[in-house]
A and B are shown apart, each in its own frame.
Chain A
Amino acid sequence: MAQTRPLSPHLGIYRWQITMTLSILHRATGIALAVGTLLVIVALLALAAGPESYAKVQAFCVSPFGLFLLFGWSWSLCFHLCNGIRHLAWDAGWGFEIPRVYVTGWTVVIASLLTTIAIWLCVAMRGGAA
């Protein structure tokens, strides 16, 4: 059955488009953020448990691997938020024209990068947001 019907898209010869990239990235970042909820769970549990366990979470967060994860999750969060708003606009019936789809797509990419940079500038300036 699978062999008798044409398969689309033919990924091997398919021209790259930002639309397909953002589509799969929305899912990928969604999955990454779901995994990232583990840190939310662990951090809140540790905060409720006591100073010793909280110190362990803090130590993990400032370790190179912890920072790598936090940076990845922060961009995933910014991207999923921006592209999620784009999806909600589509759900409301706005923005389906092809040129507009491309403009909003690139806007999402740039906005997600700028917001991620803004978050880490706050971190770098220590206490900038506190």
Chain B
Amino acid sequence: MDNQLGDANQLGEDVRALLQRKADEFGLGFDVPGAVRRARRRLARNAVVMLVVATLVATGTVAGIRSLNLTRNPKPAQTPTLPPAGSVSARIPLPPYPAAVSAGEGAVWVASSPRFQINPEDLPPANDLTPYPAQGPEDPRASSPPAVPSGTVTRIDPATNQVTAAIEVGGNPYDLVAAYGAVWVADAQESRALRIDPGTTETTTISVPTPVASVTAAAGSVWFTSYGDPSMFRVDPDTAQVIAVIEVGDAGYKEVRSFHDTIWVGYDSNLRFAQIDPATNRVGTEVRALETNTSAYGQFAVGDRPIWVASGDLFLIDPTTDRVMATISLQWRDLPPNVSVSEISAIGAAEDGYTGVIATPHGVWVSVSGVLEAKGEPSRVVGRLLRIDLLTNQVSGLVQIENPGTGTELFAMTATQSSIWVIDRRAHQLVRLDVEGP
């Protein structure tokens, strides 16, 4: 093998032989019964911890919670060197598993999905599996029906920060947008979309060819991406009927975002993007600048020209040239000496890899979450909103958000005139941030 390693024609065989050899070597040292025992211990331990935490939360046993160190708040974790970009003005409780948020039609709207804890990438493409909440493996749902929370859309009054309606819609409401006198909901489980009257909350079902996972409103239409087919569906908001089916992307999870009449679909883990021409109902420009990026999976936002992709770092892509024009580091640079950067197990990304981004009149905002660890102290899951200065392409301000009981994991965002609204999906809250400065 060694003599021929440099021979291009032989390299494939060398790789094949080496992988087999390494796999064989690995198997020699592996103790299957031991691994089974370890797995069972781990599953049992997780089940016990979940049970204890659930009991404590249900009974409000603060002393018990303290004994678990969950409320222990260590000394401030960082001395921010960046100016504050705003302040938290409200935390609004939400139904479990909040997945998407949109502002419009006089309210802020949140979709909560019973399946949201499941990463779409983990699901097999076939519709072989019925929905279930992602919980511990010891859950007895296999033998009895689980207590699955229904899919819900929540209406929040921005004047009072109060929930004014909780609309049970069932299914798997995965995304929503408020526009054209209604709230439009994508259901990633059933072949339907929903139209909700923002005043009466009356719900109308729209038949679509497949389940749909993402939605935006632009160019006088509502646009849903298929979850299961390489297509998207254009819906007339007046008739609530599908008026066009557009072939785009792949069969997997696809996101659609828009700015005025510019519509972009992200697919292949948001490594690729396709612009939809509303005049022709066809794909126009395609962007592949991030195709070889190894650290996607984030959200994206669009502006009048650029595409912003939050994926570990924040990438600014010029679609006219299909080039990355700027890469903005989202690293946590302002940690004190007792919190080593190398000990943070997630930087610029939530635990399963999500970062959120929106483009607003106040600039571009990115949500990041991370686990902070310092020697001798319990780890903390902390969220941050970062404001990006569009002139310098630098992080120009931040707000740190923390919930000592549950930790904070920030996700989807939306904006109103002077506020950013962001989902904390660990605390099941909508956090309102009043924006400061430019």
A, B in one complex: no
B interface residues (Cβ-Cβ under 8 A, vs A): none
A interface residues (Cβ-Cβ under 8 A, vs B): none
